[in-house]
Structure 1
Amino acid sequence: MIGSGSWFRDHQIRYLAHTQPALRSPLGSRTRERCRTVNTSSSENEILELRFGPYAAVISSQGAALQTLRYEQRDLVLPFEPRSNTTDFRGVICAPWPNRLADGRYRWDGREIQADTNEPDRRNALHGMVFDRRWSVIAVRENSLTLATTLSQEVGYPFELLLQVTYALGPAGLTGTIIATNTGTKTLPYGSCPHPYLVAGDSPMHQWVVTIPADSFLETSPDRLLPLREVKVEGSHFDFRRGEFLQGIRIDHAFTKVNRGSDGLARVTLREPSGTGVELAFGQEWPWLQICTGSKPELGLAVEPMTCPPDAFNNRLDIVLLGPGESHRGTWFIRALH
């Protein structure tokens, strides 16, 4: 059981240039396309567009969210209108914890810390504290852009944390990178996840074949969706290791014991009957994966690589500890399947 101890073991380009090297996309070095500002109103979201070959992406400064990602006019993620993404966290960055924090409460260094809850029916603090913030665009290059925000002695998170997110397009699709840096003087707890809803194609979601390369998942409490225990997927409804249809299955669970290729990447794939689809790949810095069919299950599938499981600030499982000046980097990739 997770509850038992035995289970666990404005723009700042100058600042970025002095604290981080130029972020390079592993998808390619060509920069023949451009980053275009769609809206720069100081009182609203800043919306920017990236293009590279057949790929196009729109990024919103609110939540550093991936608003759209298309390949030859085909949606790879579920798009949203500006300022409408926070109800289902579509496309946002979730930090300093991903998923649910029970009662919004945890203990750290001998003190009890209380964060605001935003899931009142379940009494949880869901997806951290930066999903609805307006991030600053601090660097723009021809096929990439970087956004940043800070947490500084917040109610519910009394630490100093700099978050930077870079989106880059290349010949193999989108690369996303989150860098978290402890800018304070004390060790802090940290976790994160991106929150895209993937789209295989125009067919209904129940016709998609989904592959999830994980050997285990977390059972959750029915009332609050908090983790109870780790269970093997074999013999369950959640064994998608060889590809299964989503028809009739509702998922809002964290998966782990992730299987990876020789390149160290795990790959979640969605394919529709025509054979087209989408893939999200992620590295070993994400040992967990949340899959959610959502409240509108015919639209898209949330695929969320996570640094830690739900309620990690309490159960301490795979929690990232950052000492003063230390950073954590996590990268994920989204590409079209043909």
Structure 2
Amino acid sequence: MARTPLSGTQHALRAGDYEAVVAGVGASVRLLTFAGRHLTVPFGADEVRPGHRGATLVPWPNRIVDGRYTFDGVDYQLSLTEPARGHALHGLNSWVEYLPVRKGASHVTLESVVEAQKGYPWRVVVRTTYTLDADGLTQAVTATNESERPAPWGTSAHPYLVAGDGHVDDWTLELPAAQVLHAAGERMLPDGLTSVEVDAERFDFRTARSIGGVQLDHAFTDLTSDPDGAFAARLTDRSGAGVEMSWDAACPWVQVYTSDQPGGAADPAHRAGVAVEPMTCAPDAFNAATYPYKTGLIVIEPGESVTAQWRIAAIA
């Protein structure tokens, strides 16, 4: 019997000039290319996935501060999975193997369960479908609450987008966001929502411009949609080719991270891609009552389901 690769069962998809590989652990986009050009930062099949690269994040994206939250009058404490900052990071199932439910040459549906546990006593079934076609790679995430009580919920994806040759500094970013959530100090505590115009040189990418040396690891909101109703972030190289991440109103927030690594240029991952993460909710949304803005926290009633989806496509 063949050994399963460290990143989980491999699900290869192909459609036209697109090829993708989804790894079972975390239902992660391990590889996505168009005409042989990488659209995301890849990793090896038999490699422990670097961080959350390409992973599906459930039942919350981003951070829950101190791993503590109050929901429906009850206090909860989660394990601190980001010990350096003391937070619960990127949900509970990013290191769980998702099992295939349906599969074809250009699509795969995977399923995992967020089991009821200390800190999150709800059972939520998660199904995610990846579909590859002429428009790119679309991922839909559906969560069904199989508990007897309403469950707090959020989801996101974590791809690192690649525009072309070079690094982040060489690329141009377009991001249709008018507000940015500031993150205070080394612990990145949510510290107020302001217009991107307050520090336009760093945060205002509503008109496409070079990233240069700008460092981002921030959540943005107040998004402007395209004529078809979708939101889209675009990353291009000097030739105008690149990659687009688009999503709908199910995700009113997006995290953008320029992949700045503590070791700097000595680390191959340093500014090798831009993480663009459409999120159904803001960082620390499980503590929604703490903040004076709408965090987007979803509450799934017993027996009900919610869906969010996004797409990665080449800009030729």
TM-score with structure 2 setting the length: 0.91
- Using a 3 Å threshold, how does the CA distance of structure 1 residues 41 and 84 change in structure 2: closer, same or farther? closer
Aligned CA RMSD, in angstroms, stands at 1.6
- Please give the alpha-carbon distance, in whole angstroms, between the structure 1 residues aligned to 2:203 and 2:149: 40
The yes-or-no answer on 1:299 pairing with 2:262 is no
Partner of 1:163: 126
Equivalent positions of 1:234-313 (< 5 A) are 234-236=197-199, 237-294=202-259, 295=261, 296-313=269-286
Unaligned runs of 5+ in 1: 1-38
Distance 1:195 1:40 in 2: 29
CA deviation profile, 1:205-247 (whole Å, cap 9, x unmatched): 2010000110000011112112111010014110001012111
CA distance in 2 between counterparts of 1:40 and 1:51 reads 23
How far 1:87 sits from its partner (Å)? 4.1
2:54 maps to amino acid: G
Deviation, structure 1 residue 42 = 5.7
Aligned ranges for residues 11-22 of structure 1 at < 5 Å? none
Matched residues, number: 300
Deviations 1:6-54 (A, max 9, x none): xxxxxxxxxxxxxxxxxxxxxxxxxxxxxxxxx9746851001000010
Report the alpha carbon displacement of residue 315 of structure 1 after superposing the two structures with TM. Answer: 2.3
Residue deviations 1:121-179 (CA, integer Å, cap 9, x gap): 21001100111111111111231001110012122210010101110111111111000
- Equivalent residue number for residue 189 of structure 1: 152
Q: Secondary structure at the match of 2:212?
A: coil
Decide whether the 8 Å contact of 2:70 with 2:287 is kept in 1. Answer: yes
Q: Which residue of 2 aligns with 1:75?
A: 38
Instruction: Answer yes or no: is 1:337 the counterpart of 2:315.
Output: yes
* Distance verdict in 2 for CA 1:124–1:319, change over 3 Å: same
Q: Mark the runs of 5 or more structure 2 residues left unpaired by the alignment.
A: 262-268, 290-294
Equivalent runs, 1:132-211 vs 2, <5 Å: 132-211=95-174
In the alignment, the residues of structure 1 paired with residue 47 and residue 73 of structure 2 have an alpha-carbon distance, to the nearest angstrom, of 39
Q: Greater CA deviation, 58-67 or 116-125?
A: 116-125
The structure 2 residue matched to 1:327, chosen from 287, 305, 308, is 305
% identical equivalent positions: 36
Distance 1:117 1:87 in 2: 19
Q: Residue 216 in 1 paired to residue 194 in 2? A: no
Deviations 1:178-216 (A, max 9, x none): 001111111010001000000000122201000011000
Kindly tell me: are residues 312 and 66 of structure 1, through their superposed partners in 2, closer, same or farther at Cα, counting changes over 3 Å?
same
Deviates more, 1:228-237 or 1:160-169: 228-237
- Contact 1:40 1:46 (8 Å CA) reproduced: no
User: How far apart are the structure 2 equivalents of 1:50 and 1:142?
Assistant: 6
Residue from 12, 16, 19 that aligns with 1:56: 19
Aligned residue for 1:32? none
User: d(CA) in 1 for partners of 2:68 and 2:214?
Assistant: 31
In the alignment, is residue 122 of structure 1 matched against residue 95 of structure 2? no
From the superposition, tell whether residues 206 and 257 of structure 1 become closer, same or farther in structure 2 (CA, over 3 Å): same
Contact 2:156 2:279 in 1 (8 A): yes
CA drift of 1:261 comes to 1.4
Asked if the contact 1:86/1:132 (under 8 Å) is kept, the reply is no
Q: How does 1:16-35 map to 2 (within 5 A)?
A: none
**Alpha-carbon deviations, 1:87-146, whole Å to 9, x = none?**
431000011010010111112233221111111121001100111111111111231001
Instruction: State whether residues 85 and 91 of structure 1, in contact with CA within 8 Å, keep that contact through their aligned partners in structure 2.
Output: no
TM-score of the superposed pair, with normalisation by structure 1: 0.86
Range with bigger deviation, 308-317 or 174-183: 308-317
**Aligned counterpart in structure 2 of residue 88 of structure 1, from 31, 47, 51:** 51
Whether the 8 Å CA contact 1:167–1:175 is kept in 2: the answer is yes
